[in-house]
Structure 1
Amino acid sequence: MTAGSARPCWKWSWPRRASDGSHALHYLLEDAFLPGMPDQQLSDTFLAEVQRHLSYAGRPLYALLHEATYGQRAVTPHATGWAAQRVRAEFPRFDVDRALAGDRPVLLTGEMIYPWMVDTDPALAPLGAVAELLAQRTDWPDLYDPEQLARNEVPVAAAIYHDDMYVDTDDSLVTARAVRGLRPWVTNEYEHDGLRVSGRHVLDRLLRLVRGEI
């Protein structure tokens, strides 16, 4: 549900991070309503699939630690404090209630965890206090040392997916240039889930890059 709303949340935060996520959503919506039933009654099959996609019952730690894994003192001394929720609030076009009231399209988000997800997911609700403690923690250690990375001597390669909707290409290139000796592979052949869906192709290419074979 959205904050301050009793409206279900499935439309507005789709957790699929894969390149086929939009197709999965389309197929799901094809059978959403029971044929011949009044008032557009939702089918049990649809509701079960929505629950399967949206619940973090099988990966609660992912939900709790998603933002926390980015927290570090070198970047900000403040807590992560539900950063995705704060940024989303800065863009009125992502306001679900306003979009529906004005008959505007409802925009999806992904790869983000919002506090209302914890409140409404039965698997996460018992962990709400833990989630809040993590969101408010301010003493996360630094994740990396930019100076050490700038004098790196370890062979390293990285795949940069040009069309990745979750990772900005320009930021990735800046990061790649900051690591001494890093060999980037910029490609639009795959998206965020390239390592998983490519079979061995992505990993094999990265290993060849590290070995200087290409």
Structure 2
Amino acid sequence: MNTTRSYRQRGLECTEYVIDVPLDHDRPGGEQLQVYAREVVDTTQPDASVLPRLVFLQGGPGGKGPRPVDRSGWLARALKDYRVVLLDQRGTGLSTPANRQTLPRRGTPADQAAYLSHFRADAIVRDAEVLRRELQGDEPWSALGQSYGGFCALTYLSYAPEGLREVFVTGGLPPLSATPDEIYQMTYTRAVEKNLAYFDRHPDDRDLCVRVVDHLRDHDVRLPTGERLSPRRFQGVGMRLGMRSDFDALHYLLEEAFVDGLSGPELSDTFLVGVGSAPFSSGPLYAVLHEACYCQGVASAWSAERVYTQRPEFALDPGTPFLFTGEMIYPYLFEEVPALVPLREVADLLAAKDDWPPLYDPDRLAANDVPVFAAVYYDDLYVAREFSLATAAAVGRLRPWITNEYEHDGLRTGNVLDHLLTLARQTP
């Protein structure tokens, strides 16, 4: 392990680490990757250097660790009790990158798909274990998993529980055995509920959305990055409905949708910038590996797209009441988004892969002895409560906190971590 540098900023002491890990942990002598992590300590805390460590497992997939600029939000609360390790999961941030620029160096699309098959939660957990042993030997550490990071935490409990002292999960208790189709059927149902809540609050926006779709159907509208804004791409903006911080922001975006141009109404630059801000360029693995996160021994076969065709309420046909979709990745994105277009064949191959290994061990989870404290958001658009509650009942020593006070971004916008830490300190 290399310590690249240490520095201080606004009450934080940051130390950066880079470790070498195998691409395939079952072949430790084979190709190596680099994984980056940043340890953060609160310089105002007495004896902060002797506090236990907490590793933060980022949402995603394909999300890099947060870049802290000061003591604020959930990090400020965590730093009262821990040294916090912010991990750049393999393929992201300052870890060895995986994107449209680097992947062609692997060779054919088949070679690239084989490479990316080693970028799921099972590999991320084994990377974390290499880092933990480098930092503190056999001593276990705590883990905080946000969203997809919670999926990783359950994989961690399945295959390396000896590395964990306690686990906190926010909006990320995954389905342990459901198929992608079962998951997306539930996710579309939750999306319908979110649409009803949104249009109940902003009833005039439904007709405005129909007007936007009609305009996009009749005009070649380009985003600031150059790609076409299609009706389906606009429909996907509904992903924001699962975040408290974005729910009403979507309304404010829509209210500036049109301006009067030389040839009549056109979509405003303000609107186009807002619609085009999806993180596919900075986090392409989010799209490429999204459905693979749910696959254990089955192919996704573009599950979200297939289920979409079975849900006529989401059709963009004239006369059909408009509905946004939610957190789904579709094949059309790999035809329209510049950061994804070169990865279309790779994505197709991954969607067809039917020999994904298991991500969870139900027997080991049932016998789990590591304390787990999990926030389950009752109205979560991204991780359906029905699956999360079933998982909570199936995992030993897991205490769920079920709340409708927060949305999927509760860790960032509320006192969710403080609540879970309080539960942990009150639990024998």
The TM-score bracket by the shorter chain reads 0.7 to 0.9
1:137 counterpart = 2:361: no
Which of the pair has more CA radius of gyration? 2
Question: Greater relative contact order: 1 or 2 (C-alpha under 8 angstroms, separation 6 or more)?
Answer: 1
The answer as to whether partners of 1:176 and 1:184 remain within 8 angstroms in 2 is yes
* Aligned-partner Cα distance in 2 for 1:113–1:193: 20
Tell me the CA shift for residue 141 of structure 1. Answer: 1.0
Instruction: Give matches, 1:15-94, under 5 Å.
Output: 15-16=239-240, 17-35=242-260, 38-52=263-277, 54=278, 56-73=280-297, 78-94=298-314
In structure 2, how many angstroms separate the alpha carbons of the residues matched to 1:61 and 1:94? 26
**1:108-119 matched pairs, under 5 angstroms:** 108-119=324-335
Greater strand share, 1 or 2?
A: 2
* Secondary structure of 2:412's aligned partner: helix
Distance 1:170 1:49, change over 3 A: closer
- Per the TM alignment, residue 36 of structure 1 is displaced from its structure 2 partner at its CA by 6.8
CA contact (8 A) 1:82 1:114 kept: yes
Give aligned pairs, total: 200
Contact 1:157/1:185 (8 A) holds in 2: yes
Partners in 1 of 2:407 and 2:269 — Cα distance?
32
Q: TM-score, normalised by structure 1?
A: 0.84
Could you tell me which amino acid in structure 2 is paired with residue 158 of structure 1?
Answer: A
User: How far, CA to CA, are the matches of 2:305 and 2:233 in structure 1?
Assistant: 16
Match in the other structure for 2:390: 174
Task: Tell me the secondary structure at the aligned position of residue 40 of structure 1.
Answer: strand
CA displacement 1:107-135 (0-9 Å, x = unmatched): 11111100101111111101111111111
CA contact (8 A) 1:55 1:121 kept: no
Matched position secondary structure for 2:253: helix
1:91-110 alignment runs, 5 A limit: 91-96=311-316, 98=317, 101=318, 103-110=319-326
5+ residue gaps, structure 2: 1-212, 221-229
- Measured in 2, the distance between the counterparts of 1:153 and 1:55 equals 37
Structure 1 residue identity aligned to 2:390: V
When structure 1 is superposed on structure 2, of 150-159 and 165-174 the one drifting more is: 165-174
1:164–1:191 contact (8 Å) kept in structure 2: yes
Query: How far has the Cα of 1:90 moved from its partner?
Result: 0.7
Of residues 30-39 and 17-26 in structure 1, the stretch that sits farther from structure 2 once superposed is 30-39
CA distance in structure 1 between the aligned counterparts of 2:285 and 2:261, rounded to whole angstroms: 42
Q: Is residue 243–residue 409 contact of structure 2 (8 Å, CA) maintained in 1? A: yes
Map of 1:204 onto structure 2: 418
- C-alpha separation between the residues in 2 aligned to 1:56 and 1:183? 35
1:160 and 1:169 in contact (8 A); partners too: yes
| 1:8 partnered with 2:243 | no
Q: Superposition pairs for residues 119-158 of structure 1, below 5 Å?
A: 119-158=335-374
Which runs of no fewer than 5 residues in structure 1 stay unpaired?
none
Structure 1 pair 191–55 and aligned structure 2 pair: CA distance change class (3 A): closer
SS at match of 1:174: helix
Q: 1:209 to 1:90 in 2, by over 3 A?
A: same
| Structure 1: distance between partners of 2:420 and 2:344 | 40
